[in-house]
C-alpha cells in the first residue's frame, strides 16, 4: 500500500495545483474555462496514471521481494491487484478535487467518499475470509471504483464524458503493450535491481514511443509547456 501510494503522489499532485485555478474561474462564472482546464487535467492524469498502473503491476512480483525481502513475496500479487487504484484515484482526484470541490458541490464529493468507505467495509468481511490479503486488495479496488463511478454519474450532465475519455484508448494501448513486455521480462529473468532498472527503462521507452506514434494530446501539452518555459 505504501509503494502504491508513493506512485499516487505523482498522479494526484495536479489536484492541489489546479484547485485554486478552477475555483477562481468558477468565481468569475467562466464555466467554459473550468471545463477546458478539467478536460486537459483529466487527459494529463490519464497519461500518467495508465503507465504507472501498468508499470507497477509489471514489476510487482519481484519489486516487493527486492525492496523489503524475500519474506514479503506475498506482497507482489497484492500489489499487482492494488495497482488498479492508481487509475481510479487519479480520475476521482480530477473530478472530485478539481471539479466538485471548486464548484461548491461538496455534498456530492462527500457522498462519493462515504460510498467508497461503506463498500470497502462491507466487502472486506467476505473477501478477506475467502482470499485473505488479496481479498482486502480487491475490496480496496472496488471501493475506489465505486467512488469514481459515482462521481462520473453525478457530473454526467455537466461534463462531456466522451470528450474526457476521448484519448484514453491511446494511453491504454500504449500501457498495455508496455505491460506485456515488462511483465514478461519480470517473470522470466532473475530478480535483481539491475534487471528491474532495465525493465523500467524499457517500459518508459515503449510507452513514450507509442504515445508519440499515436499522437496523444499529452504530446501537444508537453510541447506547449516546454515552449512557455523557453520563452520565460
Cβ contact 40:221 at 8 Å: yes
Q: Is the pLDDT assigned to residue 42 strictly greater than 80?
A: yes
Rounded alpha-carbon distances, angstroms, from residue 45 to 37, 63, 204, 206: 12, 24, 16, 19
Using one digit for the tens of pLDDT, what is the confidence trace for 61-97?
898 888 888 888 888 999 999 999 999 999 999 999 8
Write down the pTM of the prediction.
Answer: 0.91
Q: Is the pLDDT assigned to residue 231 strictly greater than 70?
A: no
Q: What is the rounded average pLDDT of the residues 101-110?
A: 92
Cα dihedral 175, 9, 147, 39 in deg (nearest 10): -70
Q: Is the pLDDT assigned to residue 16 strictly greater than 80?
A: no
Q: Where are the domains of the chain?
A: 2-231
Q: Rounded CA gap, 144 and 1, in Å?
A: 14
| DSSP calls for 134-185 | HHHHHHHHHHHHHHHHHHHHHTTTTS-HHHHTTTHHHHHHHHHHHHHHHHHH
Model pLDDT, residue 229? 59
Using one digit for the tens of pLDDT, what is the confidence trace for 168-225?
999 999 999 999 999 999 989 888 899 999 999 999 999 999 999 999 988 887 777 6
Using one digit for the tens of pLDDT, what is the confidence trace for 106-136?
999 999 999 999 999 999 999 999 999 999 9
Dig out the grid coordinates for 24 from the structure. 477562481
Using one digit for the tens of pLDDT, what is the confidence trace for 150-162?
999 999 999 999 9
Cβ contact 173:214 at 8 Å: yes
Stronger pLDDT, 14 or 211, i.e. the higher one: 211
Q: Is the pLDDT assigned to residue 58 strictly greater than 90?
A: yes
Q: Rounded CA gap, 230 and 213, in Å?
A: 25
Amino acid at each position: 500500500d505504501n509503494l502504491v501510494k508513493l506512485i499516487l503522489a505523482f498522479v494526484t499532485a495536479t489536484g492541489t495545483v489546479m484547485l485554486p485555478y478552477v475555483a477562481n474561474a468558477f468565481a468569475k462564472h467562466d464555466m467554459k474555462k473550468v471545463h477546458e482546464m478539467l478536460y486537459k487535467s483529466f487527459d494529463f492524469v490519464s497519461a500518467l496514471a495508465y503507465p504507472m498502473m501498468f508499470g507497477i503491476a509489471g514489476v510487482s512480483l519481484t519489486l516487493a521481494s527486492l525492496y523489503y525481502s524475500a519474506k514479503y513475496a506475498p506482497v507482489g500479487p497484492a500489489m499487482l491487484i492494488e495497482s488498479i487504484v492508481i487509475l481510479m484515484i487519479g480520475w476521482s482526484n480530477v473530478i472530485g478535487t478539481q471539479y466538485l470541490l471548486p464548484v461548491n458541490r461538496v455534498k456530492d464529493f462527500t457522498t462519493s467518499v462515504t460510498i467508497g468507505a461503506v463498500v470497502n467495509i462491507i466487502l472486506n468481511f467476505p473477501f478477506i475470509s475467502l482470499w485473505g490479503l488479496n481479498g482486502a486488495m480487491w475490496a480496496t479496488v472496488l471501493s475506489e471504483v465505486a467512488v469514481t463511478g459515482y462521481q462520473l454519474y453525478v457530473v454526467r450532465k455537466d461534463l462531456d464524458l466522451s470528450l474526457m475519455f476521448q484519448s484514453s484508448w491511446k494511453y491504454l494501448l500504449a500501457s498495455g503493450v508496455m505491460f506485456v513486455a515488462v511483465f514478461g521480462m519480470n517473470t522470466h529473468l532473475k530478480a535483481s535491481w539491475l534487471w528491474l532498472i532495465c525493465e523500467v527503462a524499457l517500459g518508459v521507452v515503449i510507452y513514450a514511443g507509442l504515445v508519440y506514434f499515436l499522437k496523444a494530446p499529452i504530446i501537444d501539452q508537453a510541447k506547449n509547456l516546454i515552449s512557455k518555459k523557453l520563452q520565460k
